[in-house]
């Protein structure tokens, strides 16, 4: 019987061309596929959670693979480590649900970037940190880092040649610690764009050197232009520390930045397959991507419909399409059923979110539903 195995993978990336299979050099994925196939005596292809770049290290990358071999899941890591090179080690192995995917499950990724900031380099630090002899002002970098925390369009901090469609990500925490001559930048986020962490580090270094004032980082973020940000810091200073997968959806998901503000009630996705999405404010140029991104995320989390309301301008219309999803006016019966899911406390929270008639005379909020066109729900 086929089963899916989850691996926690650590590696020194110095001698590898990143995670993903390539023609120009040896990769972590290539080595894992080869050694797993040899161990289990069947073709194996792993799926990695984070496709780290050439030279990037990891303490807790995640990968899965399918196998029909009867070997106990928790013993695979021990057996596999016997054949792996010393710079790759599997920290644990366990069986997971057959449809569990490491890149589709909600998680918080944590990266660390290390800078050795002293007059003369130390040979023992050369593989795992970036050496900078110019004194860096930690307090100024911390102030600059505060502008990056939250949900934003990080296009300025993404390699220009990247073909990703949506450059919005959420950075939950960004801390900078000083331990002797070592500076440790720690990034915790929902996901990261290509070279995003390394470009943020390069930009913060410019602040630390006095080239940029801390407030300029907010201007770089708003510009959505890679040319405005600093250099891409070298790969060797970067380590993927770990990935924390979400066990339960938070009741509310909320975002408020200079470009948009919204609330999503998620507590009824699992039981009622319904999410509630209320947009309080959004710039016109961000509207379509904001709606599509959050509807899609709700469906990924298990919703079969999303109750919608634009509290600012009433921009939803019957028949509008956002990717695979279509907007339809909600019927009185559908509205009653949706509202019936809400607890009294949740209804009170919703009322607080909605605009006051005194503040917005003549504006009536209309409710809509977003449904998946591919599931025959229309």
Q: Which of 245, 166, 236, 169 is nearest to 201 (CA)?
A: 236
**Structure tokens that stand for 362 in this block:** 């003549």
SS3 assignment, position 287: helix
CA dist 32 and 3 (Å) reads 17
**Structure tokens that stand for 297 in this block:** 């995320």
Q: Provide the edge-to-edge strand list for the sheet that holds 321-322.
A: 252-256, 260-265, 274-282, 305-310, 368-372, 325-329, 321-322
Contact 9, 32 (CB under 8 A): yes
Residue 305 Ramachandran class (φ > 0 left, ψ -120 to 50 alpha, else beta): beta
Residue ranges with strand state E in 68-217: 88-96, 107-117, 130-132, 150-153, 168-179, 182-189
Contact 113, 201 (CB under 8 A): yes
Residues 6+ apart with CB under 8 A from 231: 199, 202, 205, 206
Contact 280, 262 (CB under 8 A): yes
Sign of CA dihedral 17, 38, 86, 74: positive
Residue 282: Cβ-neighbour burial (10 angstroms; 0-12, 13-18, 19+): buried
Task: Find the catalytic residue in 53, 87, 181, 286.
Answer: 53
One-letter-per-residue 3-state SS of 203-264: HHHHHHHCCCCCCHHHHHHHHCCHHHCCCCCCHHHEEEEEEEECCCCCCEEEEECCCEEEEE
The question of whether 53 is a catalytic residue gets the answer yes
Contact 66, 4 (CB under 8 A): yes
SS3 assignment, position 188: strand
Q: Which residues are catalytic?
A: 53
């Amino acid at each position: 019987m086929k089963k899916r195995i989850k691996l926690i993978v650590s590696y020194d990336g110095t001698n590898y061309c990143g995670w993903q299979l390539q023609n120009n050099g040896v990769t972590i994925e290539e080595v894992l596929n080869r050694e797993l196939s040899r161990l289990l005596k069947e073709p194996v292809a792993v799926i990695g959670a984070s496709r780290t770049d050439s030279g990037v290290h990891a303490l807790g990358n995640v990968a899965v693979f399918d196998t029909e071999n009867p070997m106990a899941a928790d013993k695979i890591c021990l057996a596999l480590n016997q054949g792996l090179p010393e710079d790759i080690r599997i920290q644990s192995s366990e069986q997971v649900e057959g449809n569990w995917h490491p890149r589709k499950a909600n998680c918080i990724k944590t990266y660390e970037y290390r800078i050795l900031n002293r007059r003369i380099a130390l040979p023992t630090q050369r593989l795992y940190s970036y050496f900078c002899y110019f004194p860096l002002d930690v307090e100024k970098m911390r102030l600059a880092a505060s502008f990056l925390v939250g949900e934003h369009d990080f296009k300025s901090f993404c390699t220009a040649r990247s073909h990703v469609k949506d450059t919005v990500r959420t950075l939950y925490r960004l801390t900078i610690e000083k331990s002797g001559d070592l500076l440790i930048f720690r990034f915790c986020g929902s996901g990261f764009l290509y070279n995003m962490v390394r470009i943020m580090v390069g930009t913060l270094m410019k602040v630390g050197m006095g080239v940029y004032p801390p407030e300029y980082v907010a201007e770089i973020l708003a510009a959505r232009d890679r040319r405005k940000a600093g250099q891409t810091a070298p790969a060797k200073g970067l380590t993927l520390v770990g990935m924390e997968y979400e066990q339960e959806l938070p009741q509310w998901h909320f975002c408020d930045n200079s470009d948009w503000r919204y609330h999503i009630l998620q507590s009824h996705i699992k039981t009622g397959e319904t999410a509630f999405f209320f947009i309080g404010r959004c710039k016109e140029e961000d509207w379509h991507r904001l709606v599509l991104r959050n509807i899609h995320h709700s469906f990924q989390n298990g919703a079969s419909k999303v109750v919608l309301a634009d509290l600012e301008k009433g921009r939803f219309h019957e028949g509008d399409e956002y990717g695979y999803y279509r907007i339809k006016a909600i019927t009185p019966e559908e509205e009653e059923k949706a509202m019936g899911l809400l607890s009294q406390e949740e209804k009170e929270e919703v009322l607080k979110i909605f605009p006051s008639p005194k503040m917005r005379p003549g504006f009536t909020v209309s409710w809509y539903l977003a449904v998946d066109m591919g599931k025959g729900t229309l």
